[in-house]
Structure formats: C-alpha cells, structure tokens
Amino acid sequence: MIKLLFPIHLLLVVFAFRSKNNPDHEIKTKPGNLIMISIDGLRWQEVFNGADSFLLLSRKFVKQDSARMAEKYGSPDLSVRRHKLMPFFWTTLSTQGRLYGNRIHDNLVDVKNKYWFSYPGRSESLCGYYDTLINSNEYPPNPNENVLEFLNKQKNYAGKVVAFASWNAVSNILNRDRSGILVNIPGEKIQAKKLSPEQVLANEQQFFLPQYFGPSVRWDVHTFAIGKSYMKANHPRVVHFDFADPDDLAHAGQYDAYLDATHYLDAILANLWDMIQQDPFYKNNTTLMIYPDHGRGLGEKWTSHGRATPLSYQTWLAMIGPQVSPKGEMKNSVQIYQDQIAQTAAHFLGFKFVANHPVGEAIESLDPMRRINRSDASNKSIRCVGSIDPSLRISFFLFPARK
C-alpha cells in the first residue's frame, strides 16, 4: 500500500476542524507557504542519472573543453555523477524530501497532454487539467482557471500570490489579466512605491545581458534575482518560479551549457532553500514543488520534444517541506500525472482546488487501483524498453574508474 504523502493524524485534525467550524475553504492553523518551480524541459534522465556520457563526450553537442567537462560532470559511479550535476537534489532533497520519476524503479511521472511541449505542459501543471484545445505556444490567454488564482481568492492568501517567469507566454498561461495576480515576465520591472536596493538592482540587471534567445525569454538568474528580492521585501505566501534556460540551451544543441544551466538551477534552489531556513516567515512552514513541463528525446533527439520526439512525455517531480515525509528517491511502482500537481499544491495549504474545469487528484489520494496494472503486459513492456536511455548504460566504459 502506498503511504500517504501527509501525516494522517495532521490531515484528520485539519479536516475535522474545517468541517465543523469552517464551511468554506479556510483553515485556522498558521497559513503555510508554497513555492512552485517549473524547469522547462529538464529531462528525468539527467535528474536521476547525471550527465549522459554519450552526449557529454560528443563533439557535436559540446563546445567547452571536453576534459574539463568530463571532470566536472562525469563519473562511472551513478551516485557521484548525479551528485556532481545536482548536489542540492542529491543531498538535501534526497534525504529530506521526495524525488519521483526514476523509471528504473518503475516510478513514473508523465504529462497527460498529448502535445509534449511548453504551453500545454505548464497549463496542465498549473490548472490541473489537460485541455485538448491548448495545442500551441501562441495560444491566447488561458480560459482555464489555475491553482494560483484560486489560492489568491482564499483568506490569508489574497494579494500574496506571485509569479516570476523567464518566458513571456507565462502571462497568457496564467491569464494574468483575469487572474489579477502579479506575473512578472522578461523585460518587466517590479513596480512599487518603495523598492529595496536588491530589487532595484534585480530590475536593472535583466537588461544587461545579450538576448541570446530573443526578447521572449530572459536568463533564469534574472528571474530568480527579481523573485528572491521580492520575497525578502514582501513575503508572499505562494510563489511560482518559471525557469527556462535548460530548454533554450537544449534546442540550441549545447549539451555542455544545458548541463551548466541544470547545475546552476540546482544551486539557485539551494540558495532559495537556504534563504527559507534563515527567514522566520518561511522557515519550517514552506513547501517546494519542483517539476518540468515536458521531457525530451533520447540520443541525438535529446535536443527536442513534442509528438515527433518519442518518450518526451516523461517527466519527474521533487518536493520538500513540513508536510512531505522524507523518503528521498521514490522506488515504488506508481504512476503520477502532471495534472495532479495543482491539486497537490492546494492540499499542501489545506485547500481543495475547484475550478471551471475538472482537476486531477492530489498525489496523496493515490490508491492501489491507480497503480500500474501489471497484467497489462503490452503497455508495460513498451514503457520499460523505451524509457531507459541506452546511452546511459555505457557510462562505465567511457569514464573508467580512477586508480
């Protein structure tokens, strides 16, 4: 049986109290905080296996000094290799949080949508719903309500829900004109009567780097600086970070830079977690959920995703916080879908997310019936054969153990 994500006694106390005294969605305990972090197109293969040696040693996809890159990210030892790439994931998250999506263990996280690219993927995560009509990154403002605007309507959370994005389409995905929440996108400054010196600096700095991928995106370091300085100055209760560097660099075919972007986003998350531990407003009262919007292809197709790129529906999910019992890398056989993220997020704060569309169930409510049906042999074999990157198996030969 799958253990519940939340301690059961805590849930029972909260729900009993709510049903008696609170007919609406509010709770009387200290309001919790939530940070949702989307990392565009970061593969589960790198999260759980570290650098792919086939790609790392490829002249086609690596321009930096190959010996230095091998030293930085390579190792014949899986645990060393993934720790080199994502040290925060493989120290803090792997001991104090949960990591879902390592398909080697039959722990599966997938997008439910059939498109496997960014707007549909982010919409599914934030709305908890796969809308078949959302099939373009140029799709107009999202008609589907998202969990952030739902939370922004709840007591203790109104005006305390914000989003910071490295890609301008997020303003449409979150339909900021309707939702009314602050959604900061590339090229926009935070406006306020009084800004902290850190906020002034973060506002400026985003204009001081080349627009390497055009004006619709900015580097994640700027999105983080604007968001972090806002958090320190204003203490929002719900924050959505939308990071994009790994996807942009992968489309450009730069595997070394894709690894660096992953490595530095891991450092950004460590920095964020460190800030949380030092701030009494956030300490021991803040949950992080981290996930991509889609996967990527294998081998030479690692640069891309979408229906023409097999297996790019495969994703992953990490979480850490006071309600997440620490189990580290999840090794149970389970199927999680991206449309469960929104309701799970709402549950962390004690709410049931209702919207103008159906919403996927929270992950805690998984029961044995929703596990993979092991009798479905054909479906099963397709998953297993296809989901393991053959190139990962040759790491040992390419990185012989040092003497």
Do 306 and 111 form a contact (C-beta atoms < 8 A)?
Answer: no
Which residues within the stretch 239-268 sit at the binding site for Zn ion (CB under 5 A)? 247
Q: Which is closer to Zn ion, CB of 109 or CB of 190?
A: 109
And the tokens for 17?
């109290």
* Phi, psi for residue 228 in degrees, rounded to 5: -65, -45
Least distance (Å) from Zn ion to the CB of residue 133? 20
Between the CA atoms of 266, 269, 274 and 276, what dihedral angle is there, to the nearest 10 degrees? Answer: -170
Least distance (Å) from Zn ion to the CB of residue 118? 6
> Count of residues binding Zn ion (CB under 5 A)?
2
Least distance (Å) from Zn ion to the CB of residue 246? 9
Q: Which is closer to Zn ion, CB of 245 or CB of 256?
A: 245
* Burial degree of 109 (CB within 10 A; 0-12, 13-18, 19+): buried
Neighbours of 218 (CB within 10 A): 26
For Zn ion, the nearest residue by Cβ is: 247
Q: Which is closer to Zn ion, CB of 220 or CB of 329?
A: 220
Least distance (Å) from Zn ion to the CB of residue 38? 12
Diameter of the chain measured on Cα atoms: 66
Least distance (Å) from Zn ion to the CB of residue 10? 39
The closest of 41, 54, 185 to 116, measured between CA atoms, is 41
Alpha-helical runs (H) found in 76-216: 78-85, 94-96, 118-127, 147-152, 170-173, 176-179, 197-205
Q: Which is closer to Zn ion, CB of 25 or CB of 294?
A: 294
Q: Which is closer to Zn ion, CB of 46 or CB of 329?
A: 46
Angle among Cα 175, 160, 361 to the nearest 5 degrees reads 65
Q: Which is closer to Zn ion, CB of 64 or CB of 137?
A: 137
Long-range contacts of range 311-315, CB-CB < 8 Å, 24 or more positions apart?
311/386, 311/387, 312/116, 313/110, 313/111, 313/116, 314/43, 314/44, 314/101, 314/103, 314/108, 314/109, 314/110, 314/387, 315/44, 315/101, 315/109, 315/110, 315/111, 315/291
Q: Which is closer to Zn ion, CB of 247 or CB of 256?
A: 247
Which residues within the stretch 78-117 sit at the binding site for Zn ion (CB under 5 A)? none
Tell me the CB-side half-sphere exposure of residue 169, using CA atoms within 13 A.
17
Least distance (Å) from Zn ion to the CB of residue 245? 11
Tell me the CB-side half-sphere exposure of residue 179, using CA atoms within 13 A.
32
- 367 contact partners, CB below 8 Å, separation of at least 6: 2
> Per-residue string for binding with Zn ion, 286-325, x by CB under 5 A?
----------------------------------------
Do 56 and 260 form a contact (C-beta atoms < 8 A)?
Answer: no
Least distance (Å) from Zn ion to the CB of residue 41? 5
Do 262 and 86 form a contact (C-beta atoms < 8 A)?
Answer: yes
Least distance (Å) from Zn ion to the CB of residue 269? 21
Least distance (Å) from Zn ion to the CB of residue 124? 15
Least distance (Å) from Zn ion to the CB of residue 303? 9
Q: Which is closer to Zn ion, CB of 32 or CB of 292?
A: 292
Q: Which is closer to Zn ion, CB of 41 or CB of 350?
A: 41
Q: Which is closer to Zn ion, CB of 145 or CB of 247?
A: 247
Which residues sit opposite 98 in a β-bridge? 319, 328
> Per-residue string for binding with Zn ion, 21-50, x by CB under 5 A?
--------------------x---------
Residues making contact with Zn ion (CB under 5 A): 41, 247
